[in-house]
């Protein structure tokens, strides 16, 4: 499978997008991938939309999803010039300023746009990036994904369970610590709960704890698909120092509100096939900040 992906990546993008179009047709009309999960997520997130509107979002999502996979494959053979021409960074001047002043920062995003190409694009900034990731169960595919994400210098992949120890060694290194923070937590009773996309939603507290423990400002990245094969990474300050002036949970709340705004604006570009709302809010929560 991995050798096939490597071979496939050598094809030009216009050919790969033709394959994506075919896969999109299959998903829409023959073998609809996770249709029940997607439909339920969309129905709960957009109660004001008609069934026809929701179906259109689902079908556009399928094309986004097949393009995302094709672009992941293409990433294996892409050059620096190709990455720079296809992923544009907007508004990271404040990030550059902080890091040039020896201040590490946190970059947080959701599963939208193309986060794989975003990692490649971060390799060509004037700062290094530590990417915290969840290890995949399939070792061969996990190793391949790590190889792909670190193909350019300037990217350090940090497995989630090891990131605390690694960060202690690098806590004063001026860099960007990057997280995707919209996954469903494994322990909902210890999560931060808020309304997100019209539903009670659990969020990991790790991003905010990380920021507070190391006194790092937090920036949000909106990952947006402008057109096929063209993306923007839009940076904005989410929480500035001193974080002691911000109440516990407020950083996560700001992230949830900002991501929600983006999902509403670009609904087909969110990962609706993920079982984001598999947990129900427990009657008794065990969240403690100290």
Q: What is the pTM of this model?
A: 0.94
pLDDT at 284: 87
- The token duo for 37 is 């999960």
- Long-range Cβ pairs for the range 163-172 (8 Å, 24+): 163/130, 163/132, 166/130, 167/130, 167/210, 167/214, 170/130, 171/104, 171/214, 172/102, 172/104
Q: In this predicted model, what pLDDT tens digit does every residue of 154-194 receive, in sequence order?
A: 999 988 877 666 677 788 889 999 999 998 898 999 999 99
Q: In this predicted model, what pLDDT tens digit does every residue of 114-136 receive, in sequence order?
A: 999 999 999 999 999 999 998 88
pLDDT at 165: 60
3 state DSSP class of 109: strand
Q: In this predicted model, what pLDDT tens digit does every residue of 235-280 receive, in sequence order?
A: 999 999 999 999 999 999 999 999 999 999 999 999 999 999 999 9
Q: Report the chain's mean pLDDT, rounded to a whole number.
A: 94
Omega of the bond prior to 130 within 30 degrees of 0, cis?
Answer: no
80-269 falls under which CATH superfamily? Glycerol-3-phosphate (1)-acyltransferase (3.40.1130.10)
3 state DSSP class of 176: strand
The arithmetic mean of pLDDT across residues 108-112, rounded, is: 96
- Long-range Cβ pairs for the range 41-45 (8 Å, 24+): 41/272, 41/276, 41/277, 42/267, 42/272, 44/197, 44/198, 44/199, 44/277, 45/197, 45/198, 45/199, 45/263, 45/267
Q: Which residues are within 8 A (CB) of 1 and not within 5 positions of it... i.e. 6 or more apart?
A: 141
Strand partners, 112: 270
> What is the domain partition of the chain in residue ranges?
80-269
- 110, 256 in Cβ contact below 8 A? no
Nearest to 39 by CA among 24, 25, 58, 20: 58
């Amino acid at each position: 499978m991995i050798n096939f992906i490597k071979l496939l990546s050598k094809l030009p993008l216009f050919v790969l997008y033709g394959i994506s179009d075919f896969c999109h047709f299959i998903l829409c009309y023959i073998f609809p991938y996770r249709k029940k999960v997607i439909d339920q997520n969309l129905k709960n997130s957009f109660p004001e939309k008609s069934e026809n509107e929701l179906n259109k979002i689902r079908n556009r999502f399928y094309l986004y999803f097949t393009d995302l996979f094709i672009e992941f494959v293409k990433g294996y053979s892409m050059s620096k010039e190709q990455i720079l021409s296809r992923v544009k960074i907007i508004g990271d001047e404040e990030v550059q300023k902080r890091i040039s002043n020896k201040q590490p920062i946190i970059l947080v995003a959701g599963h939208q746009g193309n986060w794989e190409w975003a990692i490649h694009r971060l390799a060509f900034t004037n700062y290094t990036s530590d990417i915290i990731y969840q290890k995949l169960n399939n070792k061969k595919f996990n190793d391949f994904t790590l190889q792909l994400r670190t193909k350019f210098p300037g990217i350090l992949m940090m497995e989630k369970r090891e990131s605390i120890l690694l960060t202690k060694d690098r806590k004063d290194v001026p860099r960007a610590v990057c997280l995707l923070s919209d996954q469903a937590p494994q322990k909902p009773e210890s999560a931060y709960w808020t309304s997100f996309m019209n539903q009670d939603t659990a969020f990991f507290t790790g991003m905010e704890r990380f920021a507070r423990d190391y006194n790092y400002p937090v920036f949000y990245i909106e990952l947006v698909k402008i057109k096929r094969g063209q993306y923007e990474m839009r940076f904005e300050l989410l929480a500035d120092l001193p974080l002691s002036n911000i109440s516990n949970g407020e950083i996560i709340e700001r992230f949830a509100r900002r991501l929600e705004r983006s999902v509403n604006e670009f609904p087909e570009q969110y990962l609706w096939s993920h079982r984001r709302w598999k947990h129900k809010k427990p009657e008794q929560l065990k969240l403690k900040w100290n």
